[in-house]
Amino acid sequence: MYDVIVVGGGPAGLQAALTLGRMHKSVLLLDSGSYRNGRVSHMHNFVTNDGTPPEKFREQARAELSAYDTVEVRDETVDAVARDGARFVVTTGGGVLESRLVILATGVRDELPATPGLDDIWGELAYGCPFCHGHELSGRAIGVLAGPPAVLHLVGLLAPIGSSVTVFTEGADLSADDAALLDSLGATVHAEPVLGVTRTDDEVRVELDGADDLTVAGLFVGTGRLVQSAPFAEQLGLDLQDSGCITVDDFGRTSLPGVHAAGDLAHRSSFPMPMASVLAAAAAGQLAAVACVQQLLAH
């Protein structure tokens, strides 16, 4: 019987395990090896770790966890999480595990447009977050594949960074006000359908239907609804936000007592979506672990 089982080995899960270990709680971290940023070569916007490869970050975090006798880490995929009275039962390919509390930190998947070739360059030349990947395109041509209102938000963030911003709306209707705003930001708009995107050296070639191909240094995409990477929210009957993420309070507590959630898979009702960054995920993991410690103390 563990005090806490943490499901997910990204920044939220790793930080949660560290915080619990420092309070001498018995914790098991289960890591499937699948990550939202798995194809990203470097992570950014994290003080002291700006530009660090994600795999190096995870390796260092695991090395730090090894110093704590009450922390165990396993490379194992979880199939199911269920509540059984006052305990939780976690089922993996290796058997059944039990804990008093659970922290879910399995992240989300991005719903990408069905643009041919987009999945092949996602995380390498196509991105969702200007805070994470915008600066690296400073002074270069940037593309935005999105419809309103995402396009206005992305162009507003990227216009001061790139030498130019080209918007691909794929025929989405822009109001006169939106078109005027994009023009004031210096953006060029192409409404033609995008037939596909391909990698050309370190750039992206965008093939348009009825217009010449265009090349940009990087492509930012307005993703759709976020999808849970794992089925545990549904299995446990947790409340979800309109974004597709798990509803949590300020300390990562979900609608089911004993289950906490941290990272991109969850956010408070006051947020329209998760604050998707490595640093924010780690902070959420720490808060969820603190809440677990307090709950164990109350017991």
Task: State pLDDT tens for residues 230-272.
Answer: 999 999 999 999 999 999 999 999 999 999 999 999 999 999 8
* Across 75-97, average pLDDT: 96
Confidence of residue 62 (pLDDT cuts 50, 70, 90): very high
Q: Determine the pLDDT at residue 223.
A: 77
Sequence-distant (6+) residues with CB within 8 A of 84 are: none
Rounded to two decimals, the pTM is 0.92
Q: What percent of the chain has pLDDT over 90?
A: 86
Q: Domains of the chain (ranges plus CATH)?
A: 2-109+225-298 (3.50.50.60), 118-221 (3.50.50.60)
pLDDT at 35 over 80: yes
pLDDT of residue 134: 95
The 3-state DSSP class for residue 293 equals helix
Task: With CA atoms as reference, report the closest residue to 115 among 222, 217, 34.
Answer: 222
Angle, vertex CA 150, rays to CA 174 and CA 212, nearest 5: 60
Asked if residue 275 has pLDDT above 80, the reply is: yes
Transcribe 159-220 into DSSP letters.
TTTSSEEEEE-TT----HHHHHHHHHTT-EEE-SPEEEEEEETTEEEEEETTS--EEESEEE
With contact defined as beta carbons under 8 Å apart, do 69 and 264 qualify? no
Residues 11-28: tens digit of each pLDDT: 999 999 999 999 999 999
Q: Is the pLDDT of residue 220 over 80?
A: yes
Amino acid at 178: D
Give the pair of three-digit tokens for residue 183.
């023009």
- The pLDDT > 70 percentage for the chain reads 100
Q: Please tell me the predicted confidence (pLDDT) of residue 224.
A: 67
CB 233 within 8 A of CB 246: yes
* pLDDT of amino acid 38: 76
